[in-house]
Amino acid sequence: YFFRLSKYTEKLKQIIDSEQIKIYPAHRKNEVLQFIEQGLEDISISRSNARAKNWGVPVPKDDSQRMYVWFDAPIGYISATKELFKQKNEPNGWEKYWKDEDSKLVHFIGKDNIVFHTLIFPMLLMAKGDMILPTNVPANEFLNFEGKKFSKSQNWGIFLQDYQKDFPGKTNADILRYALANNLPETKDSDFTWKDFQARNNNELVAIFGNFINRVVVLTNKYYNGIVPTPNEFSEVDENTLAELKAYPAVISSSVERYRFREALGELMNVARLGNKYLADEEPWKVMKDNPERVKTQMYVALQIAAALSVLAEPFLPFTAAKLSKILNLGDLKEHFEGFSKFLKEKNRDAKDIILDKTLGWNDITENSDLIPAGHKIGEAELLF
């Protein structure tokens, strides 16, 4: 049996050209368009039993044939969703994933699977007629290990159970996530090395992110017994720093929504760099001798950056974000704001702008300069990494 690719070729070319289906990186998009321009032949979607040796999924209504695996496998994405909703006793629930125009279908693939996920499967969905098409296909290149291809048969690579044995604990899981995300082969093949892994931890996570948080928490406990100070008048530097902080949720989310994860992670680290630069330039440990009132404002600003990091880090470093949230006692803020909101309601005042039904979120960073309010007590210093 054959599937008539030729019937849908021109329509698919228009969809890819117009970027209704975005393929990243650009050279992979060009590769797909070249396939189309060369002319796509109709492809066989089954094998005879003799050829398939009775292995595989029988063709409906014809037991003498077996499905070609790469025709059948993408359809498995849909049937798996159907199976899930059967188990949830929602037999039609799968349709909102595969038919609802508000759903977004994204194919995260390696470059060796590009033909199936940018040509064959989209054409199957087009042929079905009532299914959504993928909106994005981030097609990564290959990740190698210490200069060679990963190989199970040659025992060459990193196996997670071994990593967890050698590097136990949740923080070390985040360190691996960080190293891998920084080394994503988005536009060309990349190489994971233990030396780079060590450098990412020591020179970035410890020296930039961890160093900033440690200084903020240590100084807050040293100067104010862990109580967030009430700021005085903001200088131009303070206002510019807080304004820059407010811009980061949009910058990072833009990178994430375009599936540029390395870029997004780099911007997250820029938030920590912003905090380090602010402290290095302002030098509250020196100012404390002559102008302790100014230091209250400096530490207040630094604490806002620390709170923002606990939120912005979560997609990349979830365990670290939770650890930082605990150090800053951000879980207590829910009760703080809910109590304040109750007080305002009792006074017949509008509380909608300050009610938090959860801990801090991305919108709070953009809209609110008071992420950790004065008077809030943070915890003791603890090394993040």
Residue-level pLDDT at 345: 54
| pLDDT bucket at 333, cuts 50 / 70 / 90 | low
User: Cα dihedral angle (229, 231, 236, 237), rounded to 10 degrees?
Assistant: 0
Residue-level pLDDT at 359: 66
The three-class DSSP label of residue 377 is strand
Distance separating alpha carbons of residues 156 and 331, to the nearest angstrom: 43
Q: How many residues can be counted in the chain?
A: 385
Strand partners, 134: 105
Residues 39-56: pLDDT tens digits?
888 999 999 988 878 788
The counts of H helices and E strands in the chain are 18, 11
Residue-level pLDDT at 352: 41
Residue 214 is encoded by which pair of tokens?
Answer: 């440690």
Residues 108-166: pLDDT tens digits?
999 999 999 999 999 999 999 999 999 999 999 999 999 999 999 999 998 899 999 99
Residue-level pLDDT at 331: 80
pTM, rounded to two decimals: 0.85
Check pLDDT > 50 for residue 286. yes
The percent of residues in the chain predicted with pLDDT above 70, rounded, is 93
Can you list the pairs that 173-182 forms with residues at least 24 positions away whose Cβ atoms lie under 8 Å? 173/319, 174/316, 174/317, 174/318, 174/319, 174/320, 175/200, 175/201, 175/205, 175/385, 177/316, 177/317, 178/204, 178/205, 178/265, 178/316, 178/317, 180/143, 181/261, 181/262, 181/265, 181/316, 182/262, 182/265
**Weakest mean pLDDT among 76-90, 206-220, 231-245, 325-339:** 325-339
**Weakest mean pLDDT among 117-126, 137-146, 222-231, 334-343:** 334-343
Check pLDDT > 70 for residue 347. no
Residue-level pLDDT at 334: 54
